[in-house]
Amino acid sequence: MSEIISVKNLTKSYGPNTVLSNVSFGLEDGQIIGLLGPNGSGKTSLIKILTGLINDYDGEVLVGGRKPGPVSKSYVAYLPEKTYLASWMTADDAVNYIADFYDDFDKKKAMNMLDLFQLPHKQKAKTMSKGQQEKLQLILVMCRNAQIYILDEPMGGVDPAARDFILDAIIKNRPEGSTLMMSTHLIHDIEGVLDSIIMIGRGQLLMQDTVSHLTQSGKTVNEVFKEVFASDWQF
């Protein structure tokens, strides 16, 4: 397997605040990776750099062998933590919009998934609940046949009952051989599907390991996470 994401000596600062400090790691393709860390650890900044939303940083970042930019964006599917749909867009508008820009988008599948998720085709985004908007965005992302999926807290705003459904939709719709990176606080919910994890704290890479290696001692990923981020990390 080759490295699909390569990060070397990545440092990102906002004024005097350094949010990522000399972070280096490589990810092999075809894996499901959990990006784990407490609030303010630098996960979202790392994701924004990988997806080309932040471009002023020090270090080297390669996604699919290219620096994040217009080309890498064509094979990276990104689900941000925020709802990003224009208020005037209906579900159908959103599907057509994404279909216009991404050649790997499966429009027919998206239309079917709107029905499966019971989302009205003609309802405007501004009148949808937050949960409906998140589901719609998930459809827009998972109906792409992308090579890399980067999901920022995909189950953050979803009620516990719907989490399994969402996770199932993500895993089932991910094309074989693609790479999936998810950041989440809900480690317990996703650890069963993860191949490897990256733990970030205070802008530094604290751990990168495979789940099979990590759990050899009998501990779960959630327990390891709690050990790594002991109470002093909360202050």
Partner 1 sequence: MTGSSEKVKGKMLKLIKNDFLASARVIPLFYIIEIAALAIFMIGDRTDNTKMTVIGVAISLLVAFLLIFVTFFFVVSDYFKSLFGQQGYLSFTLPVSSRQLLGSKLIVYGLWMILSFTNFIVVLDFLSKYIEKDLVGEETIDAASSILTLFAGFPSKAQIVIYAVYVIITFFAIVLSFVVQIYFSIAASHMRAFQKTSVIWAVLIFVGTFIVYLAAISLLEKYFGIYLMLADDKSFNFVFGNPTGNGVELSLMPHIFMLIQDVVYFFLTANIMHKKVNIR
Residue 98 in contact with residue 111, Cβ under 8 Å?
no
Nearest CB to partner 1, comparing residues 19 and 200? 19
Closest distance to partner 1 from the beta carbon of 75 (Å): 6
**Shortest spacing between CB 196 and partner 1, in angstroms:** 22
Evaluate whether 68 touches 52 at the Cβ level (below 8 Å): yes
* Residue ranges in contact with partner 1 by CB under 8 A: 14-15, 48, 51-56, 64-66, 69-71, 73-76, 78, 80, 82-86, 88, 97, 100-103, 147
Residue type, 164: D
**Least distance from partner 1 to the Cβ atom of residue 15, Å:** 7
Closest distance to partner 1 from the beta carbon of 112 (Å): 22
Residue 146 near residue 79, CB atoms below 8 Å: no
Closer residue to partner 1 (CB): 78 or 225: 78
Selection from 126, 116, 153, 145 nearest residue 34 by Cα:
153
Considering the complex, state which of residue 102 and residue 225 has its C-beta at the smaller distance from partner 1.
Answer: 102
Going along the chain, which residue ranges are E strands? Answer: 3-14, 17-28, 32-36, 58-63, 76-79, 148-152, 179-183, 196-201, 204-210
For the bound state, the minimum distance from the C-beta of residue 220 to partner 1, rounded and expressed in Å, comes to 32
Choose between 82 and 121: whose C-beta lies nearer to partner 1.
82
Residues 6, 193: Cα–Cα separation, whole Å: 22
In the complex with partner 1, the residue whose CB is nearer, 64 or 203, is 64
